[in-house]
């Protein structure tokens, strides 16, 4: 049988859990569909579950581990009465109010939840190279976020994979810390904008390996080197780097919402005035609607905004 609720939050990264804290404190009794622990890249807690030290989340003078931070967020939401459903949303129907949400662990055809409002906080995922040991080494030399992890690579030789604006931006940022930064790109021409290319070519700490991909990762507990394969000649070269930043793009987790809500051409949910979407009563926060900032603190901030937007919307629709 369906459970009738005021607000369903789909996704449990910093955005979703902050929305849970705020809506719970506003007595809206939120249900958080938090995801399933079965997958390494798509588990409850979101991308921070794959991060080790977080040193730039305000309030933690000595930093905090990603999983510990997310566990604290979750406990804080629980303390105010948020309920968690450890499953994935499998289908939504936003065509009429109240909204209907189905999950993977429900029995029968009825929706698991009938909700007056929905907050979407399903995040985005960094695209990965799909090579052996990649997820295992995330947080141990392999990273998808220079702003988050660059600081740990002071005076080390590191590499960045990718040829777009993200790769060059990350590479430039990393030269502030690293001894050297090598950009490994699969073609002999960058995709990045001209201005980013000019800056990169003028940076003496940056060098490029063209027409190449990273095919193997080496090191026991943390990264000690990579094998780079030239796609034209087939030659393999060993590069003794202790850091590898994969910057080959991101993909928002929005397949579930296709056809239900407005998205941009690459699938990010479009929000206007705060966290409002084109469907009144459905709000989106965090990386699922932000392809620019992508930080835990900005996601948490927008989760707070979504909760306030929901509260206002529910009050207005009751009156
Ligand atoms: P992009 O899609 O622009 O670039 C991805 C890069 O990764 C491409 O060079 C691509 O190669 C390469 N790549 C993709 N898949 C693989 C793979 N499996 N193995 C190896 N290499 C791969 O993504 P970005 O994240 O760089 O940028 C996304 C958007 O954000 C863009 O519109 C960009 O302009 C914008 N942006 C703007 C910034 C700024 O203005 N300061 C900063 C960062 C992003 P190939 O070129 O061969 O396809």
209-265 pLDDT, tens per residue? 999 999 999 999 999 999 999 999 999 999 999 999 999 998 999 999 999 999 999
Residue 262, classed as helix, strand or coil, is coil
Q: What is the 3-state secondary structure (H, E, C) of 121-180?
A: CCCEEECCCCCCCHHHHECCCEECCHHHHHHHHCCCEEEEECCCHHHHHHHHHHCCCCCE
N residues, the chain: 319
Is the pLDDT at 312 greater than 70? The verdict is yes
Is the pLDDT at 186 greater than 60? The verdict is yes
Give the pLDDT score at 47: 82
Active-site amino acid positions: 145, 148-149
Instruction: List Cα–Cα distances, 210 to 75, 178, 233, 271, in angstroms.
Output: 47, 21, 11, 38
Is the pLDDT at 271 greater than 90? The verdict is yes
Confidence band (pLDDT; 50, 70, 90) for 1? confident
Confidence band (pLDDT; 50, 70, 90) for 41? low
What does the radius of gyration of the chain's CA atoms come to, in whole angstroms? 21
Ligand 1, atom nearest to 162 Cα = 7
Is the pLDDT at 78 greater than 90? The verdict is yes
Is the pLDDT at 319 greater than 70? The verdict is yes
Is the pLDDT at 46 greater than 80? The verdict is yes
Q: How far is the CA of 299 from the centre of ligand 1 (A)?
A: 22
Largest CA distance in the chain: 70
Direct distance between the N- and C-terminal alpha carbons of the chain, in angstroms, rounded to an integer: 28
Give the pLDDT score at 102: 97
Give the pLDDT score at 38: 63
Q: What is the mean pLDDT of residues 139-152?
A: 91
Share of the chain above pLDDT 90, in %: 86
Report the range of poorest mean pLDDT among 36-40, 197-201, 302-306. Answer: 36-40
Q: What is the mean pLDDT of residues 137-142?
A: 94
83-105 pLDDT, tens per residue? 999 999 999 999 999 999 999 98
Q: What is the mean pLDDT of residues 48-68?
A: 87
Whether the CB of 213 sits within 6 Å of ligand 1:
yes
Give the pLDDT score at 42: 63
CA–CA dist 194, 148 (Å, integer)? 26
Report the range of poorest mean pLDDT among 34-43, 198-207, 217-226. Answer: 34-43
Confidence band (pLDDT; 50, 70, 90) for 19? very high
Q: How far is the CA of 250 from the centre of ligand 1 (A)?
A: 9
Instruction: Kindly report the protein residue whose alpha carbon is nearest to atom 21 of ligand 1.
Output: 162
Is the pLDDT at 43 greater than 80? The verdict is no
Q: How far is the CA of 78 from the centre of ligand 1 (A)?
A: 38
CA–CA dist 279, 252 (Å, integer)? 19
Check residues 262 and 147 and name the one with the higher pLDDT: 262
Residue in the structure block whose two tokens are 């998808």: 144
Ligand 1, atom nearest to 193 Cα = 34
Name which of 15, 14, 10, 27 is nearest 311 in CA terms: 27
Q: What is the mean pLDDT of residues 62-87?
A: 96
Give the pLDDT score at 107: 83
Whether the CB of 256 sits within 6 Å of ligand 1:
no
Give the pLDDT score at 39: 53
């Amino acid at each position: 049988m369906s459970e009738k609720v005021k607000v369903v939050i789909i996704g449990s990264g910093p955005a979703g859990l902050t929305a849970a804290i705020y809506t719970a404190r506003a007595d809206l009794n939120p249900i958080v569909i938090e995801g399933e622990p079965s997958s390494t890249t798509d588990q409850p807690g979101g991308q921070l579950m794959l991060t080790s030290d977080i040193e730039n989340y305000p309030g933690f003078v000595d930093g905090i581990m990603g999983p510990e931070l997310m566990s604290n967020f979750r406990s804080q939401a629980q303390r105010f009465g948020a309920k968690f459903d450890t499953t994935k949303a499998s289908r939504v129907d936003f065509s009429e109010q109240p909204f209907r949400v189905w999950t993977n662990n429900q029995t029968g055809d009825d929706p698991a939840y009938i909700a007056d409002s929905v907050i979407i906080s399903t995040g985005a995922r960094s695209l990965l190279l799909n090579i052996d040991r990649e997820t295992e080494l995330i947080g141990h030399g392999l990273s998808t976020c220079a702003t988050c992890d660059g600081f740990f690579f002071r005076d080390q030789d590191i590499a960045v994979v990718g040829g777009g604006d993200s790769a060059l931006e990350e590479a430039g940022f990393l030269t502030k810390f690293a001894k050297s930064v090598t950009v490994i790109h699969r073609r002999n021409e960058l995709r990045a904008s001209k201005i980013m290319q000019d800056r990169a070519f003028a940076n003496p700490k940056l060098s490029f390996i063209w027409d190449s991909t990273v095919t193997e990762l080496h090191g026991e507990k943390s990264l000690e080197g990579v094998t780079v394969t030239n796609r034209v000649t087939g030659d393999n070269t060993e590069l003794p780097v202790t850091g590898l930043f994969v910057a080959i793009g991101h993909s928002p987790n929005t397949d579930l919402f296709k056809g239900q809500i407005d998205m941009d051409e690459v699938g990010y949910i479009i929000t206007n005035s705060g966290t409002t979407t084109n469907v009144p009563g459905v709000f989106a926060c965090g990386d699922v609607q932000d392809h620019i900032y992508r930080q835990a603190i900005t996601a948490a901030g927008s989760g707070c905004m979504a909760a306030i937007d929901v509260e206002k919307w529910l009050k207005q629709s009751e009156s």
